[in-house]
Amino acid sequence: MQADQKRGMFFIFISILMTSTFVSGCSPEKSTNTKPVIKEPIQLVQQDSLNFLVTALILTTVFAFIACYLLYQNHAKNKQLELKNKESLKQQEELIALSTATQATAEAKFSFFTHISNAFRVPLTLILLPLDEMLDNKNALNIPKQQLNLIHKNVQRLLLMVNQLTDFRKIEYDKMKLEPTCQDLVAFSRDIIASFKALALRKNIELKLSSSVKEIMVWFDKNMFDKVLFNLISNAIKFSPENGKIQLRIKTDPADQTVEIAVSDNGNGMTEEEIKHVFELFYQADKGNFFGSGLGLSLSKEITELHQGTLAIQSQKGYGTTFYIKLPLKQLHSSEMPVISNDFAVSSGQLSQYTVGILPDNLPEPVAAEQDGYLNEETLLIIEENEELLEYLKNSFKEEYEVLTASSNSVGLKLAYEMTPDLIITDITLNEQSTLQITPALKNDDRTSHIPIIILTANGDEAHKINELKQMADLYMTKPFNFILLKESVKSLLWNRRLLQRKFRNESTVTQQTIPLSKSDKKFMHDFTSVIEQNIANDKFNVDDIASALGISRIQLYRKTKVLLDCTINDYILNRRLKKAKYLLINEDLSISEITYQVGFSSPTYFSTVFKSKYNCTPSSYKKQIGLNT
């Protein structure tokens, strides 16, 4: 930069010097002639003007040259800056591409976890449902129940692997929140050990628990931390030889305020190469005799770190393996967290949490279908894309209900609008149209707004459940589900609908608390009863008039009112007329004939006949009885 400035100043100096020399050369000199030269004033003025013009021209040329030079220098600098900018943009694009690729990889991984978990749940459901049915029916098969239980347990372990995949996904994407409580770690570990005693005895493995103290109160989330101990102990049993030894040791370290849990075995141990990769998610040893995909240990490490702890390993080939867990003794969260009891009840519940306490205590007793005459009168619509599961559900429900099936939401919606079923069971994983769209589509349509909806899903996320319930779904069940729960839930929801029917029929006093109507159902009933009240004096008034006033077809009106009223429309109109007739007999001083025509009967004789069949007395007798009572 300084060199360029120096060169520029040099050119300016030379230019000015040349200009001065040239101008001097053009100036008039004194003549050597001794004779005096007398110039007139006009010539002198012309000479001065010429000198000025020449000087100005030369200076303009010099400054133009200088300007061109400076412009050239500026252009060169701009060119360099442009090259640098291009290089920076290229680097920025490379960073963006790298970031996009990383994000795509993460999303692909997330999608992998989601889809593989969901893919497991449907076949698990198809295995568990018939097994549950067999186990529930003592005389169903001659197969020993122990074998069925063994199948059942292994299916549940497969389900545990699915849940581990889901948990790992949640942890990796910061979607799993820690909910620690202060608990006795020794008692908790003792219950975990007890659940493995039977399995250890089958291999003649000695399984022991030792602790430096009887009780150690530690803050941890038992619903997450049990997965850590379960993985470590189950791996130790799996890779320990017969007559082996497994020990779980617990001790505190007052110096750094931690508690250490050591799970050791005398199995084959690991090589240094295997130890390096032991916590990697998809690592598998070359010999294929180690921990498979490493999913359990990866999850254990993540859960331990969520507890602000560490998980380490010490192993030597041929001498066994020890895993060391360190947890802080300090409180992880606010002091308001409660201290819970030591009743952990691990046993088989940790393998099959979905079967523990599955039937709620307050589930109402359904009325037998045969007693109320509902056998095969109620219709279920099942929407499920898996043909095998769809067929199983159809066969399971067809003895008690008329069952309609659809393998897509478009067909399901069409059937719902045309047939108006009493209850809909639908799958949330349908690809054609999400259930988050089909649920409001059904609930916001007058033809189907009253129908209870049960959601079946392979996605167990709480956010999905909340969103679905916000869309007015009545029940949300995660696959694999318990069929007994599904069956009883169907009966319960239909029974609640019958209570609503009784409420609108007003035939009996309903002592049980009924479920509320949706806004669309309330609007429909308001419009429906308003049309009837406005035309109650018209003896020609019929169903077609109501359908026309409400803007729906006759068939849709019949199906809608069948669910909400549990009686025919004509019966409902007749009941409304008789109810108004009773009101007029009690509160108005009108003759029987006047009342007859005000409530839409064609003749007093017909009115008296209908009134007597309903209330066991004629209108005139009823009026006299009311008069005597008053």
- Regarding whether 493 and 433 lie in a shared domain, the answer is yes
- Using the 3D structure, point to which of 450, 473, 505 is the last residue of a domain: 505
Bridge partners for 423 per DSSP: 380
> Domain for residue 111, yes or no?
no
> Domain for residue 114, yes or no?
no
> Domain for residue 118, yes or no?
no
> Domain for residue 340, yes or no?
yes
- Using the 3D structure, point to which of 470, 505, 540 is the last residue of a domain: 505
- Regarding whether 463 and 404 lie in a shared domain, the answer is yes
- Tens digit of pLDDT for each residue in 281-318? 655 454 434 344 456 788 888 889 889 999 999 998 88
Question: Which of 124, 125, 126, 146 lies closest to 135, judged by CA?
Answer: 146
Domain CATH code at residue 258: 3.30.565.10
Mean pLDDT of 12-18: 55
* SS3 label, residue 627: helix
Contacts of range 570-579, beta carbons closer than 8 Å, 24 or more positions apart? 570/542, 570/543, 572/505, 572/532, 573/532, 573/536, 573/541, 574/610, 575/505, 575/506, 576/529, 576/532, 576/533, 576/536, 577/536, 577/601, 578/610, 578/611, 578/614, 578/615, 579/506
- The one-letter amino acid code at 553 reads S
- Tens digit of pLDDT for each residue in 229-254? 988 998 888 888 888 999 999 999 88
Residue 480, preceding peptide bond in cis (omega within 30° of 0): yes
Task: Please report where in the chains the tokens 């007058």 appear, as a residue.
Answer: 446
Bridge-based pairing of strands 423-427 and 379-383 is parallel
> Domain for residue 451, yes or no?
yes
> Whole domain around residue 585: which residue ranges?
524-629
Percent of the residues in the chain that have a pLDDT greater than 70, as a whole number: 68
- Regarding whether 422 and 288 lie in a shared domain, the answer is no
- Using the 3D structure, point to which of 505, 535, 569 is the last residue of a domain: 505
- Regarding whether 538 and 439 lie in a shared domain, the answer is no
> Domain for residue 261, yes or no?
yes
Domain CATH code at residue 410: 3.40.50.2300
- Regarding whether 530 and 501 lie in a shared domain, the answer is no
> Domain for residue 499, yes or no?
yes
User: For the chain, how many structural domains are there in total?
Assistant: 3
Bridge partners for 247 per DSSP: 208, 264
492 compared with 120, residue with greater pLDDT: 492
- Regarding whether 232 and 294 lie in a shared domain, the answer is yes
pLDDT score recorded for residue 608? 86
Residue 511 has pLDDT above 80, yes or no: no
- Regarding whether 345 and 196 lie in a shared domain, the answer is yes
Mean pLDDT of 40-61: 79
- Regarding whether 327 and 229 lie in a shared domain, the answer is yes
Residue 432 has pLDDT above 50, yes or no: no
Least reliable range by pLDDT among 102-106, 167-171, 272-276:
167-171
- Regarding whether 347 and 226 lie in a shared domain, the answer is yes
- Regarding whether 410 and 487 lie in a shared domain, the answer is yes
For helices 619-629 and 569-587, give the axis angle rounded to 10 degrees. 40
Integer Cα distance of 285 and 294 in angstroms: 10
Mean pLDDT of 42-51: 77
Look over the chain and give the mean of its residue pLDDT values, rounded to a whole number: 74
pLDDT score recorded for residue 417? 85
Integer Cα distance of 542 and 564 in angstroms: 19
> Whole-prediction pTM value?
0.41
> Domain for residue 52, yes or no?
no
* 455: number of Cβ within 10 Å: 24
328 compared with 198, residue with greater pLDDT: 328
- The one-letter amino acid code at 28 reads P
Phi-psi bin for 20: left (phi > 0), alpha (psi -120 to 50), beta?
alpha
- Regarding whether 341 and 447 lie in a shared domain, the answer is no
Residue 463 has pLDDT above 70, yes or no: no
Output the six-digit token pair for 565: 């009223």
- Regarding whether 334 and 190 lie in a shared domain, the answer is yes
